[in-house]
Amino acid sequence: MPVYSHSRLSSYEKCPLQYRFRYLDRIKRDVQSIEAFMGKRVHEALEKLYRDLMMSRRASLDELLALYQRRWRENWSEKITIVKTEYTADHYRQVGERCLVGYYRRYEPFDDGQTLGLEDRIELSLDPAGRYQLQGYIDRLARAGNGVYEIHDYKTGGSSLPSDADLRKDRQLTLYQMAVEKRFPDARDIRLVWHYLAFDQRLTSARTPEEVERHRRQTIGLIDTIEETKTFPPKESALCRWCEYRGICPVQKHLVKVEALEPNQYLNDDGVRLVDRLAELLSRRGSVEKEIARVEEAILAYSEREKASVLRGTGHTARVQPGPPGDRRIALALHKPEQIGLFD
Ligand code: SF4
């Protein structure tokens, strides 16, 4: 069984097909969203801040911002995608900058505990036999007092702040808590801390032993589900716009193809034309059906009046099926070969 991570589990929950592309087929796509790019630059700057502090040096805000700008420039490439096209790259760069300024001003002189690890790798077994293995990276692990540990996580995105109930459901930091409990047997109080940097907000939560146990069982259950899965269907959502596999995903690839076309080429695409034609026909179906009902009524009335149960048109024959009035049906068929030419 592979070593799982929170990202790997989330990928399956978001879309099984994305999971298959990324973790089973291992298809590499050379693109990155600007949100992820900006988040990485902010994380780098905060890591530098605390690495220096561990060496008794406090980087100035200007220094951090200069580092952020330099890394932005050095790592920028055409492979970075902007989905929300109403915003520019510069807009995102400024948001990241604002995250750093807000954090620096709020926490200076950064004496809220002793940093124990940065981008700290954790490994964890969810069961005594070591079958269910997990790994992850803690943005910052700190000791805030005797037996008091804090797991810090930086968030640079999000359109709204999570509620307390949302935080309690958070699996990622709960898994990290399990790893910290194992690594530090003196841990009696573990605080989970999220820094929603774009909102300049610090949110905290803690887990009861029962909640930790519930998360452990749920995570094992999810891993079992993934391991037993044979089909990985696409699960469309708003997140598809950020998915690096849109170009090969059956539910998104045609959209990707036509998005890239100029308006005049767009209408020449066979798929576009077929869908438009079907939509047009379906939009006419309602009025055609009403017309059919009217003509059938007229045929039944004619048949009744003329005492003729089979009526002939130029190419077809209408046969009125016997039945109680009001429930008679008309079967329409092409003329038999010997009748062809009857009206020529
Ligand atoms: S584009 Fe959407 S449906 Fe397709 S693989 Fe990605 S997330 Fe899944």
- 115-137 residue pLDDT tens: 999 999 999 999 999 999 999 99
What are the tens digits of pLDDT across the range 209-232? Answer: 999 999 999 999 999 999 999 999
The reply to whether ligand 1 has any atom less than 6 angstroms from the CB of 171 is no
Q: What one-character-per-residue DSSP string does 132-174 give? A: SEEEEEEEEEEEEETTEEEEEEEE---SSPPPHHHHHH-HHHH
Domain boundaries, the chain: 31-110, 112-229, 264-339
Residue whose tokens read 């949302």: 166
Q: What is the pLDDT of residue 171?
A: 95
Beta bridge partner(s), residue 202: 195
Q: What is the pLDDT of residue 341?
A: 56
> Which of 239, 249, 255, 256 to probe ligand 1 with, by most ligand atoms within 8 A of CB?
249
> How would residue 37 be classed by pLDDT, with cut points 50, 70 and 90?
very high
Q: What one-character-per-residue DSSP string does 319-344 give? A: EEPP-STT---EEEEEPPGGGTTTT-
What are the tens digits of pLDDT across the range 77-102? Answer: 999 999 999 999 999 999 999 999 99
Measure 311 CA to ligand 1 centroid, in angstroms: 55
Q: What is the pLDDT of residue 286?
A: 87
> Which of 20, 24, 239, 252 to probe ligand 1 with, by most ligand atoms within 8 A of CB?
252
Q: How far apart, in Å, are the Cα atoms of 114 and each of 150, 207, 339?
A: 10, 22, 98
Question: Ligand 1, closest atom to CA 245?
Answer: 6
Q: What is the pLDDT of residue 213?
A: 95
The CATH class, in words, for 112-229 is alpha beta
- Note the helical H segments in 15-86: 16-19, 34-54, 61-75
Judged against a pLDDT cut of 60, whether residue 344 lies above it is answered with: no
Q: What is the pLDDT of residue 167?
A: 93
Residue whose tokens read 């561990």: 54
Measure 56 CA to ligand 1 centroid, in angstroms: 46
Q: What is the pLDDT of residue 165?
A: 92
Q: In whole angstroms, what is the distance from residue 342 CA to residue 237 CA?
A: 59
Give the CA diameter of the chain: 107
Q: What is the pLDDT of residue 15?
A: 98
Judged against a pLDDT cut of 80, whether residue 242 lies above it is answered with: yes
Q: Ligand 1: which residue has its CA nearest to atom 5?
A: 18
* Amino acid, single-letter form, for residue 274: L
Residue 292 or residue 158, greater confidence: 292
Q: For 7-28, what is the mean pLDDT?
A: 97
List the 316-320 sheet strands across, edge first.
310-312, 316-320, 330-334
Q: What is the dihedral of CA 176, 178, 184, 189, to 10 degrees?
A: 90
Q: What is the pLDDT of residue 249?
A: 95
Measure 30 CA to ligand 1 centroid, in angstroms: 16
Mean pLDDT of the chain: 93
Judged against a pLDDT cut of 80, whether residue 236 lies above it is answered with: yes
What are the tens digits of pLDDT across the range 269-279? Answer: 888 888 999 89
Judged against a pLDDT cut of 70, whether residue 235 lies above it is answered with: yes
Residues with Cβ within 8 Å of 109's Cβ and at least 6 positions away in sequence, in order, are 58
